[in-house]
């Protein structure tokens, strides 16, 4: 079943182009997101939504965080994202007309399910509707939600979530677009640009995967390290969080992610030649700011690995190793594409360290107890 792959995680990373194709299948036409993508019931619900509350854990939480940037930036709809284990125990204020979205690969995560069950108790009074973005049909979350969007990633066996995350982001980009369209927050032209970008995504992921050998070389610098720092701005901040989670989960190296602008508020004190710093540097409005953050790290002797796109031109120099990862600069497709080399990095570091990649110590694929 593994074919040419040594581990399920590796197989699943390489299945991502197909997982995206399968998730888009039947959900988009050449230029539009199909109205039925979230079920026929969705239309009347989405028209009334005033804000979105996303609840998830782990990697699924990171997908939610990326989409917060999209909801607010692209369609101007307020969006909050919280880990389920916090949300369920803190008596949150529930606003009227909230769309409550749970995101989960397994559909069985105990905290996410409990948060959903709790919100359903006030759903009528507050006009709250529930949607789950889930990879497993007939799971507890799909049974308990008003609306379901199934990510068609196929079975994910590796404990470290990879293709499920990518398809969750695809699902969220469709959700942003559909709500934006129904509430006339985006033009048809904008919708078509988003759809065209999504159609390019499998190819973009494929070209990011083609950098595996370069990433494998970089991984050699990590195996003797105890710590790593991931930096990003905008949507690349949650992508940095996801990169750090993958690295710690399967290689057991302590990794942290920071929004690059927070460096001088503390983590800069950590920087010396022993802590690799990984930065994600797409060519966008925040690039110049990120470049000055990189100089702050460099001035303290830090060793940096920068993933950039064809237009970023960060430029390699002493202590700063730049890898061109993608040709892409799309607001929706960029975070999805930049995540791929980080998955490969975690995988190759774990291979060198000889950990149990698919079944890391102390972890379960499906966390059905809190
Ligand atoms: O099945 P879920 O998406 O609800 O699982 C949530 C987390 O347990 C999961 O994403 C976990 O963080 C992964 N092992 C990360 O790779």
Which residue's CA is the nearest one to ligand 1's atom 14? Answer: 160
Q: Give me the chain's average pLDDT, please.
A: 95
Which residue's CA is the nearest one to ligand 1's atom 11? Answer: 58
Report pLDDT for 1. 87
Report pLDDT for 295. 87
Q: Quick check: CB of 159 below 6 Å from ligand 1?
A: yes
Farthest-apart Cα atoms in the chain, separation: 61
CA 270 to chain centre: 26
Q: Are 298 and 304 in contact (CB under 8 A)?
A: yes
pLDDT digits (tens, 9 = 90+) for 63-74: 999 999 999 999
Burial class (CB in 10 A: 0-12, 13-18, 19+), 203: middle
Sheet of strand 79-83, all strands in order from the earlier edge strand to the far edge: 79-83, 51-56, 98-104, 129-134, 147-150
> How far apart are the CA of 100 and the centre of ligand 1, in A?
19
Ligand 1 pocket: which of 55, 57, 85, 108 to mutate (most atoms within 8 A of CB): 57
Task: Determine the average pLDDT of the residues in 221-240.
Answer: 94
Task: Determine the average pLDDT of the residues in 275-287.
Answer: 92
E strands in the chain: 51-56, 79-83, 98-104, 129-134, 147-150, 227-232, 254-259, 276-281, 303-309, 320-326
CA 212 to chain centre: 20
Report pLDDT for 9. 98
Q: Determine the atom of ligand 1 nearest the C-alpha atom of 59.
A: 10
For the ranges 86-90, 166-170, 222-226, which has the lowest average pLDDT?
A: 222-226
List the one residue out of 278, 251, 255 whose CA is nearest residue 348. 251
ipTM of the complex: 0.98
The H helix count followed by the E strand count for the chain is: 14, 10
Q: Quick check: CB of 85 below 6 Å from ligand 1?
A: no
Report pLDDT for 315. 83
Q: Is the pLDDT of residue 176 over 80?
A: yes
> How far apart are the CA of 355 and the centre of ligand 1, in A?
19
Report pLDDT for 298. 87
> How far apart are the CA of 140 and the centre of ligand 1, in A?
15
> How far apart are the CA of 214 and the centre of ligand 1, in A?
28
Task: Determine the average pLDDT of the residues in 26-48.
Answer: 95
Q: Quick check: CB of 247 below 6 Å from ligand 1?
A: no
Residue linked to tokens 């690349």: 236
Q: Is the pTM of this model over 0.95?
A: yes
Q: Quick check: CB of 58 below 6 Å from ligand 1?
A: yes
Q: Determine the atom of ligand 1 nearest the C-alpha atom of 57.
A: 6
Q: Is the pLDDT of residue 327 over 90?
A: no
pLDDT digits (tens, 9 = 90+) for 267-279: 888 898 899 999 9
Report pLDDT for 352. 96
pLDDT digits (tens, 9 = 90+) for 96-108: 999 999 999 999 9
Report the catalytic residues: 365
Report pLDDT for 326. 81
Q: Is the pLDDT of residue 57 over 90?
A: yes
Q: Is the pLDDT of residue 119 over 90?
A: yes
Report pLDDT for 215. 95
Q: Is the pLDDT of residue 318 over 90?
A: no
> How far apart are the CA of 102 and the centre of ligand 1, in A?
12
């Amino acid at each position: 079943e593994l074919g040419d792959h040594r581990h399920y995680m590796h197989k699943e990373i390489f299945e991502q182009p197909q997982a995206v194709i399968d998730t888009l299948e039947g959900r988009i036409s050449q230029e539009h997101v199909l109205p039925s993508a979230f079920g026929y019931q969705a239309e009347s619900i989405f028209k009334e939504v005033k804000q979105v509350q996303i609840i998830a854990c782990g990697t699924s939480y990171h997908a939610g965080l990326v989409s917060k940037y999209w909801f607010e930036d692209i369609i101007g709809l307020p969006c909050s994202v919280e880990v389920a284990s916090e949300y369920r125990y803190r008596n949150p204020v529930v606003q009227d007309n909230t769309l409550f979205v749970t995101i989960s690969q397994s559909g069985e995560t105990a905290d996410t399910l409990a948060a959903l069950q709790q919100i359903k108790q006030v759903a009528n009074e507050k006009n709250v509707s529930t949607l789950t973005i889930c990879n497993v049909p007939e799971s507890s979350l799909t049974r308990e939600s008003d609306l379901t969007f199934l990510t068609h990633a196929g079975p994910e066996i590796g404990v470290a979530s990879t293709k499920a995350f990518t398809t969750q982001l695809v699902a969220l980009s469709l959700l942003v677009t559909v709500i934006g369209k129904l509430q006339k927050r985006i033009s048809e032209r904008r919708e078509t640009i988003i759809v065209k970008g999504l159609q390019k995504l499998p190819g973009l992921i494929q070209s990011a995967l083609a950098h595996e050998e370069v990433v494998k070389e970089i991984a050699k610098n990590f195996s003797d390290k105890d710590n790593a720092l991931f930096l990003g701005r905008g949507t690349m901040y949650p992508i940095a969080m996801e990169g750090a989670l993958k690295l710690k989960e399967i290689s057991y190296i302590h990794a942290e992610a920071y929004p690059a602008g927070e460096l001088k508020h503390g983590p800069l004190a950590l920087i010396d030649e022993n802590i690799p710093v990984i930065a994600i540097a797409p060519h966008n409005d925040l690039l110049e700011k990120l470049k000055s953050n990189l100089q702050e790290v460099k001035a303290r002797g830090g060793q940096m690995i920068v993933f950039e796109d064809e237009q970023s031109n960060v430029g390699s120099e002493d202590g700063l190793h730049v890898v061109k990862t993608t040709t892409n600069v799309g607001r929706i497709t960029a975070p999805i594409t930049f995540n791929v080399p980080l998955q490969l990095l975690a995988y190759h570091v774990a291979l060198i360290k000889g950990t149990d990649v698919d079944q890391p110590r102390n972890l379960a694929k499906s966390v059905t107890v809190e």
